A and B are shown apart, each in its own frame.
Chain A
Amino acid sequence: QKEVEQNSGPLSVPEGAIASLNCTYSDRVSQSFFWYRQYSGKSPELIMSIYSNGDKEDGRFTAQLNKASQYVSLLIRDSQPSDSATYLCAVDTGGTSYGKLTFGQGTILTVHP
């Protein structure tokens, strides 16, 4: 079992729809959770971080965390073609490995006009 797993995708949604990206993780001591967006050939860019159970909203983005189910998701409302990218889920287990992120394989999102 991979430490961080994302829905394999690719995910294709029409412009204006809600895109839902999912991620599960295996290490129960994980403390911090991140979503990065990566355009082709570019560096990963942090778009959301979440540390507590529940929802966290930032503009069109909502991150949801459920530590009991070891599940974190990212919702993108009113999806735009410019949201088309690879979305990476990353987890920090903290402890002695502070700062070490474990990434999922990424989900490719395509928003079509």
Chain B
Amino acid sequence: EAGVTQFPSHSVIEKGQTVTLRCDPISGHDNLYWYRRVMGKEIKFLLHFVKESKQDESGMPNNRFLAERTGGTYSTLKVQPAELEDSGVYFCASSQDYGTLYGYTFGSGTRLTVV
């Protein structure tokens, strides 16, 4: 079984530019989550999709962040325009069940650096 795939693995962009991160969950996993870890801080929840619907987007920092999951398969997270404080590692995770009864499977993350 293929795991959760994220790309790019690294991205360096200039302040004000746009970046799009992509996550391919494990096939058949309806639940998809985005998390972020900024330097020196804990991993923080951004949002949760159930299929193509946003179940919870309470962690999205501001309207510069836009997440989509067309067709309930892969998801994209766009940051536009990027700011310095957006730098960090963005993790995607997926699970088959609703909730975390059996835990998630995380992707390897995208390290975003905004300069």
Tell me the A residues contacting B by CB distance below 8 Å.
2, 4, 32, 34, 36, 42-46, 49, 88, 90, 92, 94, 96-106
B74 within 8 A of A: no
Task: Give 22 pairs: A residue, B residue, CB < 8 Å, sorted on A.
Answer: A2-B42, A32-B101, A42-B108, A43-B91, A43-B109, A44-B43, A44-B91, A46-B104, A49-B102, A88-B43, A94-B99, A96-B56, A99-B33, A99-B55, A99-B56, A100-B33, A100-B58, A100-B59, A101-B35, A103-B35, A103-B42, A103-B43
Bound: A101/B45 CA distance, A? 7
B100 at the interface (CB under 8 A from A): yes
* B55 cross-chain contacts in A, Cβ below 8 A: 98-99
Within 8 A of A (CB), among B34-86: 35, 41-45, 48, 55-56, 58-59
Pick from A32, A45, A97: contact of B56, CB below 8 A.
A97
Q: What separation, in Å, do the CA atoms of A100 and B33 have in the docked complex?
A: 8
Measured between beta carbons, the chain A residues less than 8 angstroms from B87 are none
- CB-nearest residue of chain A relative to B9? A41
Q: Check: B103 CB closer than 8 A to any chain A CB.
A: yes
Smallest Cβ distance from A4 to chain B, in angstroms? 7
Distance (Å) between the CB of B50 and the closest chain A CB? 8
Nearest CB on B from A86, distance (A)? 10
Bits for B19-45, please: 1 = Cβ < 8 Å to A, else 0: 000000000000101010000011111
In the assembled complex, the CB of A111 is this many whole angstroms from the nearest CB of chain B, namely: 23
Contact A4–B48 (Cβ < 8 Å): no
